[in-house]
């Protein structure tokens, strides 16, 4: 997607076109170069894929294009705006390469004349890793009308297949690898991809790099900026280069050749992106207000929907409000959660109103029971992916699948029993893996049930022990994993209910 | 009177918009330069998101702007497939002669599934030169960060009641309505910063009588005036269940309220009641929320409202 220098959009105009032009993430670029050297030797390297993951606007897609340009490779792009089922992925791979039928052609040609297959946003491939039949892929690829495969069917499986067989470099980008791994058996899926692809994780761009780029862009546009205005702009940027450049462009429109602090603060009043809104400030103000009216006004502009606001409140109440206060408002908090759920049973979105007005009134009612030491707001742990709760959900789901029961009956009947069996106060031993091995849990799962962090010293030694205990249960475990594969498709989207 | 006043008085140019000064300044700069990047408008209903989008495209393309504009709202299909087909089709065709780009206005973009948003982001970049997107949404947290990063984001805030007042007076003037000062204030209060609601309220009231009074406004908008609601709380505290119940029935009948409207309006007024402390207000809020919830679930209106009144009386009574 090369575009001319006269591009309207600054973000396109200043998109770097070669590897050496890229800013930030220096060590990541070095790893990319090492991966590239693997291809240059003429052989096909062990890891044929490059998975670039990281937040938006740090240059993942740009890097992919820069690699191609620098090496003089052509590029075949398949992104989420197109269907990406098994057949579509295979045909684009064929189009660009010698993957299936042109294998011989490739052998004869120069090894440098590669075609990069760029799969953008692979985390948006819907569905799981389950394969679709070869026959259906071929039928779909052959027919012009009425494809047999709809949507993204079999896309992820074909992706793995491609990574294992391709003669061409494959570059994938994604924001959230967790979504790519899927929900059911994510560790296994992650390992399957990591075996054949170099996973490079990009971080948000640091303030120094942001500053340098901002100055360079402004300089070539002939726009000046006050130092404090630049500071303010960078302070509220979450490390997203594209957003920074967009902001600069939007500032320059009214700036008249010079950006000052007034226009930046005006910008921050009306043009904040979500990642820049300070929920913490709003919540702090809510906790410090002495009436329900003021508290609800304080969160009015936080732009979080009621589900999320409730989650923020119930998490932070634990640390802000004393136990007496918590007791008094527990009824109200609990009710507001039930009322919010009414939107699922009968689409009554007006019950959202109570989802935020009950908790705000509640915190105002017990304002005098606040713990000493001020209000410190923290991010709700259970909204974080990869937290303990999420791991247990994953575990429950998998075990329920392997035992052939429903999730809810597993949670209600078997899960408590499982916890009791592993409860130390009831005489269990941490290093008794009989049950865990029998039902196909991993060492991490075992730790999760025990409630021991896997990074702790105890946790590590248990993990080691777990790994050493016989392989005799392997077969059973494998069976349970295959069962899970099939049910993955349906459970894909629910993860994002807070997103 | 057949035409909706909201449409007739919708600002046709960005410069005519009321309030949202920071937003309007920036948008006017876009209309002067006749070009703009991808935009995202976030904010509650009735704060001018649709108006701004239409006014901006009109400023840029002139009166024929609709030829260059694809409008999609939540009533249209939002699935992944329709993004891949309909939006992409429109995005990749050439703009009208004499213009350099076309515009897709996705109203209520927060209703897009996350996969659909995933498909959208790349289209936004690939066709950026010939097609600009304007997304509008109520809850910006429902729009994935990657899309927000591709847009210039504008936040619309509920209008000050002063701005609503100003616009309502202006419309009343041009429609030849005799609007009392107190009635205009009532409209501003009732609309809660939603200009569309304010103008519609004015039109409804004026259709009954071209002399619009405060009472007429409250009666036609199905809203109880603050003093009546206040009176109900006072009756609960001072007079006991029967008188309080009588007051409640009176409010319902006189202003034609549905049960759930009454609960909602009572709660908005509760914050301003001075003779109750915060723990009492929490108890009252709980009673209201439960009553509302039961009505949503299908409970009988009069039974639930009576139960609510009884609960409030026994909580507040002496």
The edge-to-edge listing of strands for the beta sheet with A49-53 is A74-78, A115-119, A170-174, A49-53, A197-201
Domain at B5-155, CATH homologous superfamily: P-loop containing nucleotide triphosphate hydrolases (3.40.50.300)
**Angle, alpha carbons B101-A12-A264 (nearest 5°):** 95
CA dihedral of A121, A125, A126, A130, whole degrees rounded to 10: -150
Residue boundaries of the structural domains of chain B: 5-155, 161-220, 226-316
Rounded distance, CA A461 to CA A450, Å?
14
**Angle, alpha carbons A335-A341-A346 (nearest 5°):** 125
What are A78's strand-pairing partners?
A: A119
Contact A274 B26 (CB under 8 A): no
Chain A CB within 8 Å of residue B94 CB: no
A15-26 average pLDDT score: 76
- Going A400 to A405 to A409 to A414, the CA torsion angle's sign is negative
- Going B275 to B279 to B280 to B285, the CA torsion angle's sign is positive
Confidence of residue A386 (pLDDT cuts 50, 70, 90): very low
Nearest to A243 among B29, B121, B149 (CB): B149
Rounded distance, CA B162 to CA B170, Å?
12
Q: How far is A256 from chain B (nearest CA, A)?
A: 11
Confidence of residue B263 (pLDDT cuts 50, 70, 90): very high
What is the 3-state secondary structure of A234-286? HHCCCCCHHHHHHHHHHHHHHHCCEECHHHHHHHHHHCCCHHHCCHHHHHHHH
How would you classify residue A59: left for phi > 0, otherwise alpha for psi between -120 and 50, otherwise beta? left
Which residues of chain B make contact with A255, given a CB cutoff of 8 A? none
The answer to whether residues B107 and B136 touch, using CB atoms and an 8 Å cutoff, is yes
Task: Name the class of domain B161-220.
Answer: mainly alpha
Query: How high is the mean pLDDT of chain B?
Result: 87
Nearest to A3 among B26, B129, B289 (CB): B129
Q: How far is B38 from chain A (nearest CA, A)?
A: 9
Alpha helices in B18-159 (DSSP H): 21-33, 49-61, 80-82, 88-92, 114-126, 145-150
Confidence of residue B74 (pLDDT cuts 50, 70, 90): low
Percentage with pLDDT > 70 across chain B: 97
Size of interface A-B (CB pairs under 8 A): 198
Q: How far is B211 from chain A (nearest CA, A)?
A: 34
Asked if the model's pLDDT at residue A276 lies above 90, the reply is: no
What are B137's strand-pairing partners?
A: B42
Rounded distance, CA A25 to CA B186, Å?
57
Q: Do domains B161-220 and B226-316 have the same CATH topology?
A: no
- Report which of A46, A275, A254 is spatially closest to residue A163, judged by C-alpha positions: A46
| Of A381-395, B146-160, B248-262, minimum mean pLDDT range | A381-395
- Report which of B103, B143, B141, B101 is spatially closest to residue B121, judged by C-alpha positions: B143
Percentage with pLDDT > 70 across chain A: 72
Contact A80 B23 (CB under 8 A): no
Rounded distance, CA A443 to CA A449, Å?
10
Rounded distance, CA A32 to CA A41, Å?
15
Contact A292 B282 (CB under 8 A): yes
What is the model's pLDDT at position B246? 94
CATH 1.20.272.10 describes domain B226-316: yes
Q: How far is B281 from chain A (nearest CA, A)?
A: 7
Give how far Cα A483 sits from Cα of A477, A489, B4, Å: 10, 12, 59
Rounded distance, CA B222 to CA A210, Å?
53
Residues 118-147 of B with CB under 8 A from A: 118-123, 125-126, 128-129, 139-146
Q: Which two three-digit tokens encode residue B199?
A: 């103008």
Q: How far is B174 from chain A (nearest CA, A)?
A: 31
What is the model's pLDDT at position A110? 44
Chain B CB within 8 Å of residue A126 CB: yes
Burial of A43 (0-12, 13-18, 19+ CB in 10 A): exposed
Confidence of residue A483 (pLDDT cuts 50, 70, 90): very low
A102-112 average pLDDT score: 42
The answer to whether residues B120 and B149 touch, using CB atoms and an 8 Å cutoff, is no
Nearest to A335 among B35, B123, B289 (CB): B289
Rounded distance, CA A431 to CA A382, Å?
28
- Report which of B216, B223, B152 is spatially closest to residue B189, judged by C-alpha positions: B223
Chain B CB within 8 Å of residue A268 CB: no
Query: How high is the mean pLDDT of chain A?
Result: 73
Asked if the model's pLDDT at residue A73 lies above 60, the reply is: yes
- pLDDT tens per residue across span A110-139: 445 678 888 887 877 766 666 666 666 666
Confidence of residue A149 (pLDDT cuts 50, 70, 90): low
Percentage with pLDDT > 90 across chain A: 0
A443-459 average pLDDT score: 77
- pLDDT tens per residue across span B149-184: 888 888 888 888 888 899 899 999 999 899 999 999
Contact B88 A291 (CB under 8 A): no
Chain B CB within 8 Å of residue A329 CB: yes
SS3 B219: helix
Which residues of chain A make contact with B37, given a CB cutoff of 8 A? 8-9, 246, 249-250
Alpha helices in A289-351 (DSSP H): 292-300, 306-320, 323-346
Please list, in sequence order, all residues whose beta carbon lies within 8 angstroms of the beta carbon of residue A414, skipping any fewer than 6 positions away.
A399, A403, A405
Q: Which secondary-structure segment (H or E) carries B178?
A: strand B178-179
What is the model's pLDDT at position B283? 93
B25-46 average pLDDT score: 86
Confidence of residue B288 (pLDDT cuts 50, 70, 90): very high
Chain A CB within 8 Å of residue B26 CB: yes
SS3 B179: strand
B240-269 average pLDDT score: 91
| Of A320-334, A401-415, B184-198, minimum mean pLDDT range | A401-415
- Report which of B208, B194, B111 is spatially closest to residue B159, judged by C-alpha positions: B194
Which residues of chain B make contact with A346, given a CB cutoff of 8 A? 296-297
Confidence of residue B252 (pLDDT cuts 50, 70, 90): very high
The answer to whether residues B40 and B156 touch, using CB atoms and an 8 Å cutoff, is no
The answer to whether residues A154 and A126 touch, using CB atoms and an 8 Å cutoff, is no
What is the model's pLDDT at position A376? 73
* Closest chain A residue to the Cα of B273, Cα to Cα: A293
* Closest chain A residue to the Cα of B153, Cα to Cα: A271
What are B212's strand-pairing partners?
A: B179
Asked if the model's pLDDT at residue A385 lies above 80, the reply is: no
Please list, in sequence order, all residues whose beta carbon lies within 8 angstroms of the beta carbon of residue B36, skipping any fewer than 6 positions away.
B27, B30, B56, B60, B132, B152
- Report which of A25, A1, A20 is spatially closest to residue A205, judged by C-alpha positions: A25
- pLDDT tens per residue across span A200-224: 888 878 888 888 888 888 888 888 8
B12-21 average pLDDT score: 83
């Amino acid at each position: 997607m090369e575009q001319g220098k006269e591009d309207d959009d600054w973000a396109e105009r200043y998109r770097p076109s070669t590897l050496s032009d890229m800013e930030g993430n220096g060590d990541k670029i070095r790893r990319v170069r090492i991966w590239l050297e693997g291809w240059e030797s003429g052989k096909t390297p062990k890891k044929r894929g490059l998975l670039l993951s990281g937040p938006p606007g740090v240059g993942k897609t740009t890097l992919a294009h820069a690699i191609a340009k620098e090496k003089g490779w052509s590029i075949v792009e398949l992104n989420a705006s197109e269907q990406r089922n098994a057949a579509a992925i295979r045909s684009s791979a064929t189009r660009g390469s010698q993957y299936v039928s042109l294998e011989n052609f490739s052998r004869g040609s120069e090894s440098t004349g590669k075609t990069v297959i760029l799969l953008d946003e692979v985390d948006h491939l819907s569905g799981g890793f389950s394969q679709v039949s070869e026959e259906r892929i071929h039928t779909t690829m052959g027919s012009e009308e009425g494809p047999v495969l709809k949507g993204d069917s079999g896309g992820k499986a074909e992706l793995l297949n491609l990574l294992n067989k391709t003669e061409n470099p494959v570059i994938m980008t994604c924001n959230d690898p967790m979504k790519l791994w899927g929900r059911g058996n994510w560790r296994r899926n992650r390992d399957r991809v990591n075996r054949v692809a170099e996973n490079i994780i990009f971080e948000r761009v640091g303030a120094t790099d942001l500053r340098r780029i901002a100055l360079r862009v402004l300089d070539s546009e002939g726009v000046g900026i006050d130092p404090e205005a630049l500071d303010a702009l960078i302070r509220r940027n979450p490390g997203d280069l594209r957003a920074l450049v967009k902001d600069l462009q939007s500032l320059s429109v009214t700036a008249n050749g010079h950006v000052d602090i007034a226009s930046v603060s005006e910008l921050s009043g009306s043009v904040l992106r979500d990642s820049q809104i300070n929920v913490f400030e709003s919540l702090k103000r809510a906790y410090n207000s002495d009436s329900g009216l003021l508290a609800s006004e304080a969160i009015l502009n936080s732009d979080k929907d009621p589900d999320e606001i409730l989650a923020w409140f119930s998490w932070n109440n634990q640390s802000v409000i004393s136990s007496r206060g918590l007791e008094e408002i527990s009824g109200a908090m609990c009710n507001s959660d039930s009322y919010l759920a009414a939107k699922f049973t009968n689409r009554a979105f007006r019950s959202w109103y109570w989802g935020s007005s009950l908790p705000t009134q509640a915190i105002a009612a017990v304002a005098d029971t606040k713990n000493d030491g001020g209000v410190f707001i923290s991010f709700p742990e259970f909204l974080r992916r990869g937290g303990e709760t999420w791991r247990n959900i994953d575990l429950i789901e998998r075990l329920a699948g392997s035992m052939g029961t429903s999730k809810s009956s597993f949670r209600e009947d078997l899960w408590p029993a499982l916890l009791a069996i592993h409860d130390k106060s009831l005489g269990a031993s941490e290093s008794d893996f009989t049950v865990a091995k029998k039902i196909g849990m991993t060492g991490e799962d075992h730790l999760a049930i025990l409630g021991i962090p896997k990074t702790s010293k105890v946790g590590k030694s248990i993990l080691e022990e777990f790994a050493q205990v016989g392989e005799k249960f392997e077969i059973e475990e494998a069976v349970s994993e295959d069962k899970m594969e099939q049910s993955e498709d349906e459970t894909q989207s629910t993860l994002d209910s807070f997103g | 009177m057949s035409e909706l006043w909201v449409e007739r008085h919708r600002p046709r140019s960005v410069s005519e918009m009321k309030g949202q000064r920071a937003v309007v300044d920036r948008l006017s700069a876009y209309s002067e330069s006749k070009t703009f990047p991808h935009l995202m408008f976030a904010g509650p209903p009735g704060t001018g998101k649709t108006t701004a989008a239409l006014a901006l495209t009109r400023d840029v393309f002139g009166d024929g702007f609709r030829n260059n504009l694809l409008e999609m709202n939540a009533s249209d299909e939002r699935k992944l497939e329709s993004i891949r087909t309909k939006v992409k089709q429109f995005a990749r065709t050439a703009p009208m002669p004499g213009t350099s780009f076309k515009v897709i206005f996705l109203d209520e973009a927060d209703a897009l599934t996350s996969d659909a948003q995933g498909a959208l982001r790349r289209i936004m970049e690939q066709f950026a030169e010939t097609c600009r997107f304007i997304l509008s949404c109520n809850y910006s947290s429902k729009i994935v960060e990657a899309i927000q990063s591709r847009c210039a984001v504008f936040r619309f805030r509920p209008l000050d009641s002063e701005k609503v007042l100003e616009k309502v007076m202006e419309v009343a003037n041009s429609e030849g309505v005799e609007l009392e000062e107190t009635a205009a204030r009532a409209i501003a209060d009732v609309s809660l910063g939603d200009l569309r609601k304010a103008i519609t309220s004015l039109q409804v009231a004026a259709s009954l009588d071209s002399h619009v009074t405060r009472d007429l406004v409250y009666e036609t908008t199905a809203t109880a005036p603050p003093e009546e609601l206040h009176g109900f709380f006072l009756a609960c505290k001072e007079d006991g269940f029967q008188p309080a119940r009588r007051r409640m029935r009176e409010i319902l009948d006189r202003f034609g309220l549905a049960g759930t409207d009454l609960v909602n309006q009572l709660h908005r007024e509760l914050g301003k009641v001075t003779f109750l402390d915060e723990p009492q207000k929490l108890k009252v809020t709980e009673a209201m929320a439960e009553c509302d919830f039961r009505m949503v679930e299908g409970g009988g209106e009069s039974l639930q409202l009576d139960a609510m009144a009884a609960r409030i009386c026994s909580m507040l009574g002496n």
